[in-house]
Amino acid sequence: MPKAGKGQLLIEVRAVAVNPLDAIIQSNGTVMYGWLQYPVILGEDVAGIVVETGTGVKDFAVGDRVVAYAMGLEKGRDEASESGFQAYAAVDAALAAPLPSTIAFEDGVVLPLAISTAAAGLFEEGQLGLDYSHLGNVAPREEIVVVWGGATAVGGNAIQLARAAGYRVVATASPKNHDQMRRLGAEAVYDYRDPEAADHIIEEVRSSVVAGILAVAVGSAEPSLRIARATRATKIAMASPPVSFYEQPRRRGLSLARTRLFLRLGTRTALLQVRSRAHGIRASFIWGSAIATSPVGPAIWGEYLPAALASGSHHLYPEARIEGDGLPAIQAAIDTLRRGVSAQKLVVTLDPAVRT
Ligand SMILES: NC(=O)c1ccc[n+]([C@@H]2O[C@H](COP(=O)([O-])OP(=O)(O)OC[C@H]3O[C@@H](n4cnc5c(N)ncnc54)[C@H](OP(=O)(O)O)[C@@H]3O)[C@@H](O)[C@H]2O)c1
């Protein structure tokens, strides 16, 4: 049984959501997260009930319903107690928000890594560096943020956060998701599969200042660079590498497929950096967990989310799709995620009544 450390909450986990990161670590663990020692507990998104509070915790009490970002996989953390895919997890109180009684655990749990990554990309100094003072309570601005991959979990939360910060938003998504993107706050949406999507966006935003471009899905960096060049935007924040990590077998060590993948990754990343810098554009890679040690974390988790969840002003995006109950259902959910989802978050409930 984990203990709640200083500034932490011990949560009885009632629902978890799976992220591409969980699938990527299963494929690449020791390559990308070299500090992890097998066997590893995965999981970043949890919702549940506080059963213990650590020293220094002021804003939460035993019995509170919360949603939280479990940090166990990050360097220097203890994944055995701090990762999400277990019955009890220790989470930072600073990365938790109260869940109103009107929101089910399985609906709230769609948020943690996605909203944290969106916030890191939009607001961290080394990323788009947008102004996030008075989130949810600012006068509209004229500047535009482009979100390439608006229907992703990260993108749908980014649209809402950018709007809460007062920015106008233009996004891409499949046509079936366009209405939903508009409901989240995008003023225009284009189909990323349309070869002319970048041209349409350039035309749309031509007379405005583009404050930055959030390139979320794999393959987003290229069109984002094109838009930045044409609109004189100087910042692109990228959530994904230029190649998909899903394409390789799940096994340890180097293989031919893995060597090829990393060669492609290295070449494309280097080329992108050279081409960006040649045009005075900074293309930076987002690390969602950066908000845990920056002022962005408290602004999102301590101020914005509690109020936005209580008022219902932040939509719980993507919609939860329940894949099963109990820890054994998680692997199937990760496998389903590898095959792709559209505007949905795969969620597994953990009902303590059926726990063995
Ligand atoms: N760096 C970090 O810290 C960090 C953290 C979290 C996630 N990520 C990365 O961010 C990406 C998104 O993660 P997520 O959990 O938000 O994903 P997700 O919700 O699973 O993404 C699914 C969505 O991707 C959209 N999509 C697929 N291909 C696209 C393309 N070429 N252009 C635009 N949209 C596309 C689809 O939109 P439609 O349904 O409209 O077709 C689909 O709805 C992943 O690559 C993930 O690894 C990075």
The rounded Å distance from CA 60 to ligand 1 centre is 32
Do 225 and 147 sit in the same domain of this protein?
Answer: yes
**Residue 123: pLDDT band by 50, 70, 90 thresholds?**
very high
- Residue 305 — very low, low, confident or very high, per pLDDT cuts 50/70/90? very high
- On whether both 145 and 53 belong to a single domain, the answer is no
Identify the domain boundary among 251, 272, 289.
289
Cβ atoms of 98 and 65 within 8 Å: the answer is yes
Shared domain check, 190 and 143: yes
Q: Are residues 44 and 145 in the same domain?
A: no
Same domain (yes/no): 20, 119: no
Same domain, 285 and 189: yes
Confidence class for position 356, pLDDT limits 50, 70, 90: very low
pTM score of the predicted model: 0.97
Least confident stretch, 201-215, 226-240, 260-274: 260-274
Whether residue 296 is predicted with pLDDT greater than 70 in this model: the reply is: yes
Number of domains in the chain: 2
CB of 153 closer than 6 angstroms to any ligand 1 atom = yes
Q: Whose CA is nearest to atom 29 of ligand 1?
A: 217
Copy the structure tokens of residue 124: 């961290």
Q: Which of 68, 66, 113, 64 lies closest to 92 in space, CA to CA?
A: 68
246 lines ligand 1 (CB under 6 A): no
Question: Could you tell me the CATH number of the domain that includes residue 51?
Answer: 3.90.180.10
State in Å: Cα 338 to ligand 1 middle: 11
The answer to whether residue 305 sits within a structural domain is no
Measured in Å, residue 298 CA sits from the centre of ligand 1 at: 25
pLDDT (tens digit per residue) in 159-214: 999 999 999 999 999 999 999 999 999 999 999 999 999 999 999 999 999 999 99
Residue 151 CA, ligand 1 centroid: distance in Å: 7
Q: What is the mean pLDDT of residues 55-70?
A: 98
Residue 239 CB less than 6 A away from ligand 1: yes
From 182, 193, 201, 216, the mutation candidate for ligand 1 (largest count of ligand atoms within 8 A of CB) is 216
φ, ψ at 122 (rounded to 5°): -80, -40
Where among 289, 309, 341 does a domain terminate? Answer: 289
What value does the mean pLDDT take over residues 328-356? 91
Lowest-pLDDT choice from 41-45, 67-71, 136-140: 136-140
For residue 32, the model assigns a pLDDT of 77
pLDDT at residue 248 in the model = 67
Same structural domain for residues 159 and 87?
no
Q: Are the C-beta atoms of residues 52 and 5 closer than 8 Å to each other?
A: no
Share above pLDDT 70 across residues of the chain, in percent, rounded to a whole number: 96
Q: Which domain holds residue 104?
A: 8-110+318-354
Tell me, yes or no, whether 302 lies in a domain.
Answer: no
Shared domain for 167 and 266, answered yes or no, is yes
Between the CA of 62 and the centroid of ligand 1 the distance, in Å, is 35
pLDDT of residue 141: 95
Specify the DSSP class assigned to residue 224.
H
- Which pLDDT value is given to residue 354? 64
Same domain, 240 and 137: yes
Q: Check whether residue 267 and residue 167 sit in a common domain.
A: yes
Give the pLDDT band (50/70/90) at residue 244: confident
Atom 42 of ligand 1, residue of closest alpha carbon: 342
Same-domain status, 45 and 100: yes
Q: Is residue 296 part of a domain?
A: no
Q: Count CB-CB contacts under 10 A for residue 192.
A: 20
Ligand 1 center from residue 306 Cα (angstroms):
25
CATH of the domain at 140: 3.40.50.720
Residue 294's alpha-carbon distances to 173, 247, 336, in angstroms, are 30, 34, 33
* Token pair 């259902």 in the structure block, residue: 329
Instruction: Specify burial of residue 246 (Cβ count, 10 A radius: 0-12, 13-18, 19+).
Output: middle
**Considering only CA atoms, which residue is closest to atom 30 of ligand 1?**
217
